[in-house]
Amino acid sequence: ATDGEGYKPCDPQVIR
């Protein structure tokens, strides 16, 4: 649910 450097690897909304 977070974006940027504090991304969650288990989050479906995260796009590296």
Cα 11–4–15 angle (5° rounding)? Answer: 45
Name the 3-class secondary structure at 2: coil
User: What's the pLDDT score for residue 3?
Assistant: 60
* Contact by Cβ (8 Å): 8, 14: yes
How does pLDDT run across 1-16, given as a tens digit for each residue? 566 666 677 777 766 6
- pTM comes to 0.06
* Contact by Cβ (8 Å): 7, 16: yes
Question: At residue 9, what is the residue type?
Answer: P
